[in-house]
Amino acid sequence: MDEFFLSGIISKSLLELQHLEVLNLSWNRFQGIQVPYFIGSLRNLRHLDLSNSGFGGRIPNQFGLLSHLNYLNLEGNFLEGSIPCQLGNLSKLQHLDLKDNSLEGNVPSQLGKLSNLHKLYLGYGGALKLHDGGLWLSNLTSLTHLDLSLMANLNNSHSWLQIIGNLPKLRELSLSDCSLSDNFIHSLSPSKLNSSTSLSVFDLSWNKFTSSMIFQLVSNISYNLFELDLYGNNLLEAPASNHFGLMMHSLERLDLSSNRLKGEALESFMDMCTLQYLNIYGNNMTRDLSSIVHNLSSGCVRHSLRELYLSYNQITGSLPDFSIFSNLKILDISVNRLSGKIPDSSKFPPQLESLSIESNSLEGGVPKSLGSTCTLRLLHLSNNSFNEELPLIIQNLSGCARSSLQELELRMNQIKGTLPDFSTFSSLKTLSLDENKLNGKIPKDIQFPTQLETLKINLNSLGGVMSDSHFANMSKLKLLDLSDNSLALEFSQNWTPTFQLGYIGLRSCKLGPTFPKWFHTQNDIEILDISNCGISDFVPEWFWAKVAIQGMTKMNISFNNLKGTIPNFPLDVTPHFVVLASNQFEGPIPSFLRGSAFLDLSQNKFSDFSSFICANGTVEALGQLDLSNNQLSGQIPDCWNHFKSLAYLDLSHNNFSGMIPTSMGSLVELQALLLRNNSLTKEIPFSLRNCIKIVMLDLGENRLSGPIPSWIGEIYQDLQILSLRKNNFSGSLPVQLCYLQGIQLLDLSLNSLSGRIPKCFKNFTSMTQKTSLIDYTHQGYFVSLRSIGQYMNYYDLYSLLTWKGADHIFLNNELLLLKSIDLSSNQLSEEIPMEIEDLFELISLNLSRNNLTGEIPSNIGRLTSLEFLDLSRNQIFCSIPTSLTQIDRLTMLDLSHNNLSGQIPIGTQLQSFDASSYEYNSNLCGKPLDKLCVAEEPPHEQNVESDEDGNFLINRAFYVSMTLGFITGLCGTFGSILISCPWQQVYFRC
């Protein structure tokens, strides 16, 4: 019953099968269930396999009663505690596997009584230790396989290594991740080291060896090794000479990946005449590739080598002649720094089957010699700068390789031209041409290979019509991605494809206006993207049945004109990623969609979600829920305690009324809460203080009232965006807001707040630090799904800001650059605190329409990043500070409707604004106002001394030139944002 995805409690009725000899419950879902002790009563069991099924608790002592057992596998569970010494009673046991658990304590010496044991796997078992140097191992004379990985106390003794060397039949030994180091080798006495004649596979990966001494140790332990794994150490040195290679006369596989070896290290292995597999992935090789190849090919290894992996280094140069490696079949040089063209004269090994050179900087095209490699099956050239015409590339590959080639990966290059005929590539299974510069119409008579399983031509500029005739001979197709071209798909009305697709990517193709009937024939769909396909139709019920039952993982049908209601199904088998945004769906939201991890139903006409929210059962996976811009109304259901993983919740732009539900305080994983533009009333519930991970809180444009809770500043330590604009909040600004050191956007405008602006706003640390787009990272959270385990999911943020007198939406990384305070349209009084001058990286400051008095802070010019400053409609008096001329990025200024007096300081920026920026200040004079000042002085150069940086002088001419450059850049960068209104709904991508 393996891989049946069984779950729940195992019944004691199993004991009725007293003659049972084999019990296999591996690869099921008994998450956290204790291994049943009564299995120990099935005395005739010979074979017991409970591996990889999520069992928890301890290993039952009763297993020691299974006297006939010869196979016991408990690998890959969550078993805890110690290994029962009773397992030593299983005298007939030949196979014992306890690896990948959470066991602890000493391995019981009673296991030494298992004289018939052939295979013992204790690796990664948790915190297990080898007691008394593993003396009991000496009794296991039949042992062929031993795994002691992650036993951290092996450094404390050498006796276990001597004992292992005496095991006469041991063939495979794994000591991975045991913290063994050069010190262990230093303290080892060579005279006490026994050389094993049987050991053939030795795994020393993920230890802490740095020097070449490990190679000497290995050759002393066994010179008959077939395979040696030193992956993930910290090796800086290879053997000092070719002595190691000459000693290891049987070694065929050597893994040195993820170390720190340099290019000259390969010289040490050139005389290993039996070596077939050499992996040096992820080291520090910086030499020219031709030099590396020359060093390695100077010995007999050039005749024996079958597989060579040099990827993820920093190897430079172009592609040299590899034909000297006469038996080489697999060559991987991907993710290096190769450049230039592949010469037409290039020669390749005559038996080459796989060539990977992706993620370099190669350009040009593909030489004909590669097409003449008759054994070539895999050719991966993606993510380079190849820029030749595709028809020419295909022509050069049309030698004898056209019959052998199975995978052709050319994605993410600069390849041009039209799509040629591929029908002569009779064995081709994978064709990836996505993210290139292909153009032109797809010919009506083009043929694709009959064996093709994967076709990806998305993200090009191809046009024309594709019909069922193009796919007539592709019965084995499993993955189809035509997205982001200008293609129209026109299929016969009753077309029945001969293939069964698992991946359908048709985003932005013209697929409509009717819903595709041929989807009805597809029973294996895992990923479906038909967004923005011009479909204007009702979605048939058979499609929703597929969604609920078939087991899709991702479904995106957004940005169409799809209509109707979504039927409910009694199943929670939902795609992990569901996007139905920007359609015309209506009615209630079905509860079966609760099983997804990402759910975007925004921009529809849904009118009820009470059954979705309040249905019985815990919702474990749902991390993102976007129901914004629908027709949901009434009170928000108070049933949020079901949602254990919700990190992002957007209910904005609906018609909700009443209070914010208290149960939202149970959303302890919540990072973003958006309830903007509803009709919510009363105070912010105290229970929301439990949501301590909040990064964004947007409650703007509601009817909320009462004071702003002080706990927002005390509890929300990660808060970056706080918008409470356009509500009925009253009272003073709580000083606790000053604890929000990471705040980047603070919008409390359009309320009834009173009192003074706290001086401690200077504690907004993020508004004092410069950031750039390279600092931007998506917000993320972990999602746990039974089918695929735990993974990281991400979401983007958006926020509304009043900019130049109008509301605009800022998205994603734009928010990183935007640092704004908006306290406008309140009843704030007293002076603007001078401490606001410390917020050097502030972009926008709006304090307009209050009752502020006093002067503009004299050193406001220190806010050199300021682009938007609105202090209008207050009662500010005295003159405009001359330091304001230092702000050369200022594009919007409004000081109107105050009591300012004196001359407007002379500077290019301040005179460039419209006179309306200064109007209704009766005693203000100077350009751009028509009113001239009495005894006005002629313009002159000003040197402004910084009051913090000593005698640092700012050159006005420099700032004038910088201003002109910035204004040009600003129009290009923000133009689309500032012009577009109303804004388009954000589309979230995973």
Q: Read off the pLDDT of residues 62-72 as tens digits, 9 standing for 90 and up.
A: 999 999 999 99
| Secondary structure in 3-state letters for 816-848 | HHCCEEECCCCEEEEECCHHHHHCCCCCEEECC
* Mean pLDDT, rounded, for 227-234: 96
pLDDT tens digits along 794-828: 777 777 777 666 777 777 666 667 899 999 999 99
pLDDT at 258 exceeding the cut of 50? yes
Residue 799's beta-bridge partner residues?
810
Range with the poorest average pLDDT among 84-93, 372-381, 471-480, 767-776: 767-776
**In the chain, what is the greatest distance between 2 CA atoms, to the nearest angstrom?**
114
pLDDT at 774 exceeding the cut of 90? no
User: What DSSP designation does 579 have?
Assistant: E
Distance CA 499, CA 516 (A): 15
pLDDT tens digits along 147-162: 999 998 898 888 899 8
C-alpha of 938 from chain center: 60
pLDDT of residue 789: 53
For 715, the token pair is 């509890």
Amino acid letter at 619? Answer: V
CA distances from 678 to 117, 181, 807, 965 (A): 70, 63, 17, 42
pLDDT at 200 exceeding the cut of 70? yes
The string over 751-772, giving b where at least 16 C-beta atoms fall within 10 Å of a residue's C-beta and e elsewhere, is bebeeebbeebbbbebbeeeee
Most confident of 544-548, 694-698, 780-784: 694-698
pLDDT of residue 975: 36
pTM: 0.84
Nearest to 674 by CA among 554, 577, 809, 806: 809
Helices (H), ranges, 198-324:
213-221, 243-247, 289-296, 301-304
Phi, psi of 862 (to 5 degrees): -70, -15
Nearest to 669 by CA among 642, 653, 647, 650: 647
Distance CA 138, CA 131 (A): 13
* Mean pLDDT, rounded, for 568-587: 86
Tell whether domain 500-617 is in CATH 3.80.10: yes
pLDDT of residue 947: 39
* Contact yes or no for 249/226 (Cβ under 8 A): no
Nearest to 252 by CA among 231, 227, 219, 229: 227
Distance CA 408, CA 419 (A): 14
Extents of the domains making up the chain: 500-617
Distance CA 4, CA 372 (A): 48
For 951, the token pair is 């005698």
- Give every CB contact of residue 733 below 8 A, 6+ residues apart in sequence: 708, 748, 753, 755, 756, 757, 758, 823, 828
pLDDT of residue 790: 55
Query: Between these two residues, 763 and 787, which has the higher pLDDT value?
Result: 763
For 449, the token pair is 């290979």
* Mean pLDDT, rounded, for 690-700: 96
Distance CA 808, CA 535 (A): 30
Strand pairing class (806-811; 22-24)? unpaired
